[in-house]
Amino acid sequence: MSAGHGPTGPDDEQPEPTGTLRPTSARALTASSVLGLVLGWGLHPVATALTGRPPLVSWAQALALVMVAAIMGFLAWHTWQTVHVRGDRLEPHQAVNRLVLARACAIGGTLVAAGYVGYAVSWLGDASQLADRWLLRSLVAALGAAGVTLASLALERACRADGGRSQP
């Protein structure tokens, strides 16, 4: 073979990869929600049976989720400004990293939010002194995790080069 006539020669241009990425599906988010609800609801009785006490839900857990939601929200806003307002392009590795982070946090946030809701539901009707405390903290943590999910979906949309419009 002569120079420039092989699979790796300079005259052979590799075609651009084609394909599309679809937004995180409602099916994935629904499955995460159902799994989170079941696990969260079951955690209270199982942990109490195994250890003699229910798992602790602290304000630090709820505030950490609120902080992650704020970080994801800022990243979504910054990405939207970069790509859609200023019209700049992200480096390919940055775009992929942000998209992977967004999808993972959207699904994980949904799982955690539903888990905290399930845990809160497990305290309904409980007469112990801790019931109101764990119920409130679980609901605040669930709101923080839901914020993570929403901000992550916004980041995913901001990563789209087509402005987030649906393809026909």
Q: Read out DSSP for 63-106?
A: HHHHHHHHHHHHHHHHHHIIIIIS-----HHHHHHHHHHHHHHH
Least confident stretch, 4-13, 16-25, 45-54, 118-127: 4-13
Residue 26 has pLDDT above 70, yes or no: yes
Least confident stretch, 6-20, 57-71, 105-119: 6-20
State which amino acid sits at residue 107: I
In this prediction, residue 18 has a pLDDT band, given cuts at 50, 70 and 90, of low
Give the distance from CA 152 to its chain's centroid.
5
The average pLDDT across 144-152 equals: 98
pTM beyond cutoff 0.95: no
Distance, in Å, from the CA atom of 149 to the CA atom of 45, rounded to the nearest integer, reads 27
The average pLDDT across 139-152 equals: 97
Residue 167 is predicted with a pLDDT of 45
Q: Are 147 and 69 within 8 A, CB to CB?
A: yes
Q: CB within 8 A of 18, min separation 6: which ones?
A: none
Per-chain mean pLDDT for the chain: 88
CA torsion, ordered 24, 30, 31, 37, to nearest 10 deg: 130
In this prediction, residue 131 has a pLDDT band, given cuts at 50, 70 and 90, of confident
The average pLDDT across 131-145 equals: 94
Distance, in Å, from the CA atom of 17 to the CA atom of 97, rounded to the nearest integer, reads 18
Residue 106 is predicted with a pLDDT of 97
Residue 81 is predicted with a pLDDT of 95
Say which DSSP state 77 is in: H
Q: Are 72 and 148 within 8 A, CB to CB?
A: yes
Q: How many residues does the chain have?
A: 168
Q: Are 38 and 114 within 8 A, CB to CB?
A: no
Residue 168 has pLDDT above 50, yes or no: no
Q: Give me the phi and psi of 82, to 5 degrees please.
A: -65, -50
Residue 160 has pLDDT above 70, yes or no: yes
